[in-house]
Chains A and B, each alone.
Chain A
Amino acid sequence: MLELFQYRYFVHGLLAALLVSISCGFVGTYVVSRRIVFITGGISHAAFGGVGIAYFLGVNPLAGASVFAVAAAVTLETIGSRARVREDSLIGMLWSFGMALGVLFVFLTPGYAANLMTYLFGDILTVSATDLILMTGLALVVTIVFLLRLRRILYLAFDPEFARTQNVPVTGIQSLMMVLTALTVVVNIRVVGIVLVLALMTIPPAAANLLVKDFRRMIPLSILFSLVATLGGLLASHALNVPSGATIVFCALLVFLVVRMGTLPRRRGVTRTLSE
């Protein structure tokens, strides 16, 4: 096992797991609590449009993804409430628009997009030093914003209408949160990919929510569960020589199932567990 640390890619993977778990722990708790998991899905798939255009222009795909993800997030948060379109329909449109743009521009790009799969399904073992710097920056920003403004974030997420009646600048804070969500999605893309990005934002906080019904206490638990999932997935991927995006998702689900079984009411016993 120890010889793994001689490999730079493995060390990068470990660091990525830690950094991604921190930002996902905070942002995922927000996303799950506010029930905006599908907004997050929309954002990540819209980001694929940015990946495609970046490919075409020959710039860093993550830059393209960032622009599209943030644009999608702000669109949903600001226009979404006024557009007189059902929110989930709007999410569906952004979702498919992003994918369509991505497919089109990847097609138009000369040559074969060899590592396109990396963006769709992620690969924690190909995280570069530059990626790590981005991840560190995001983890720091997310941690600082949440720790400094935890009350505001929590109270606004819980009841935005009430916040409005208290003259709190709801739109500004929510837009900031959506931008943080979008950037967390983009960073996640490196690790689990666009298609699986919902996993790290959703499964660890959902598992945490089984144990505690308190936003504040969900955050550290989500970080822990996310870390278990990413590290487990990393090791499994290495040991079995299969894609890490898939093993990370399986590990996260395994964590969820273990917690779910552990929190079942005792009197219902094992039969109930199986029937669920």
Chain B
Amino acid sequence: MNHAGNGLILEMRGIRAGYGRRLVLEDVDFRVQNGDFTGIVGPNGGGKTTLLKIILGLLQPWEGSIRYFLDGRESERFPMGYMPQLARVDSDFPITVRDVVASGLMSFETHSLSLEPVRRVMERMDIAPLARRPLGELSGGQRQRVFLARAIVSSPPLLLLDEPETYVDTDFGRDFFEILAELNRDMAILMVSHDLGTIASQVKSIACVNKSLVHHDSKEITHDVMESYHCPIELITHGKVPHRVLKVHDEEKRMDGKGNTTDA
């Protein structure tokens, strides 16, 4: 399945959302097109994961609309590729690698399920030899691949990664981004990350979420845009380009006096 090419996949308008009485997101407009590879960054509690939950249908927004498009036509929310944070999964659950990957196909009727896609994606992710191993025995890096395999086994048009760096102690492996870049030919990718330094050189655009959302095309990351960067970001590394240092801006005002800024 190839979903690449131009076309809207997702459109959010005027989203307001939160938990209980706590407002987390406000006035969020966001569009995802085929072929996008967007890094979602922002301070802790700024609403990155909340945004992901809304897209995934795990959280109903208080206000605003969210529309999904499949092959140019508006559709119901379709099953998306989703790789949760490590902490959201019970890694001690008695389940084999093969079953974890196959669970990515659970929206299809079980009796008509062919396991051929499972075998193929495990080979692609270099985890085929681990197929029968229990999830609990794997290293962090191996788990990262297993959960990525589960996310993409159904060839979804949109892949969402929630802090994939939580799986590994060290930085992302270089090959992890190589895999993502390859996947990006077939599917749009949204990736929540703390590690802006690493992702900035890999993604095509960056969305800053801090109650509101500001979407930057990375080609436009010029000094002016950085000036208006609504995130407490210090540094963007761009491959071999010298580091770009962003000015620290006054977060106190932007956060409506909540005062819980990160150490920008």
Contact = CB atoms under 8 A, between A and B. Distances in A.
A binds B: yes
A162 B95 contact: no
Interface residues of A, number: 27
A167 B79 contact: yes
A33 B93 contact: yes
A108 interface: no
A33 B150 CA distance: 20
Given A158-B95, A214-B94, A215-B95, A165 B56 contact: yes
Contacts of A212: 94
B77 interface: yes
B95 A165 contact: no
A272 interface: no
B40 to A, nearest CB: 17
B106 A155 contact: yes
B82 interface: yes
Given A35-B90, A158-B103, A213-B137, A165 B82 contact: yes
Contacts of A156: 106
A154 B98 CA distance: 12
Contacts of B137: 213
B95 to A, nearest CB: 5
A155 B99 contact: yes
B187 interface: no
A163 interface: yes
B110 interface: yes
A158 B146 CA distance: 14
A161 interface: yes
A164 B94 contact: no
A168 B106 contact: yes
A30 to B, nearest CB: 11
Contacts of A230: none
Contacts of A155: 99, 102-103, 106
Interface string B84-125: 100011100111100110111011001001000000000000
B134 interface: yes
A61 B94 CA distance: 36
Nearest to A164: B58
Interface string A92-117: 00000000000000000000000000
Contacts of A8: none
Nearest to A163: B106
B136 interface: yes
A132 to B, nearest CB: 31
Contacts of A276: none
Contacts of A215: 93-95, 99
Most chain A CB atoms below 10 A, which of B20, B90, B135, B137: B90
B57 A165 contact: yes
Given A162-B82, A214-B96, A151 B102 contact: yes
Contacts of B94: 33, 209, 212-215, 218
A159 interface: yes
A33 B102 CA distance: 18
B118 to A, nearest CB: 12
Interface in B30-82: 56-58, 77-80, 82
A213 B134 contact: yes
Interface string A199-232: 0000000000100111110100000000000000
A121 B103 CA distance: 40
A170 to B, nearest CB: 10
Nearest to B81: A165
Most chain B beta-carbon neighbours within 10 Å: one of A151, A166, A209, A215: A166
Interface string A163-180: 111111000000000000
Nearest to B110: A151
A250 B93 CA distance: 27
Contacts of B113: 151
A226 to B, nearest CB: 17
A161 B58 contact: yes
A266 B134 CA distance: 21
A214 B134 contact: yes
B103 A162 contact: yes
Interface of B: 20, 56-58, 77-80, 82, 84, 88-90, 93-96, 99-100, 102-104, 106-107, 110, 113, 134-137, 150
Interface of A: 33, 35, 84, 149, 151-152, 154-159, 161-168, 209, 212-216, 218
Given A149-B110, A151-B113, A157-B93, 14 more contacts: A35-B90, A152-B110, A154-B95, A155-B99, A158-B99, A159-B84, A162-B103, A163-B106, A164-B56, A209-B94, A214-B94, A214-B96, A214-B99, A216-B99
Leading 10 A-B pairs by shortest Cβ distance: A213-B134, A155-B103, A166-B107, A166-B79, A165-B56, A165-B82, A155-B106, A213-B94, A151-B110, A215-B94
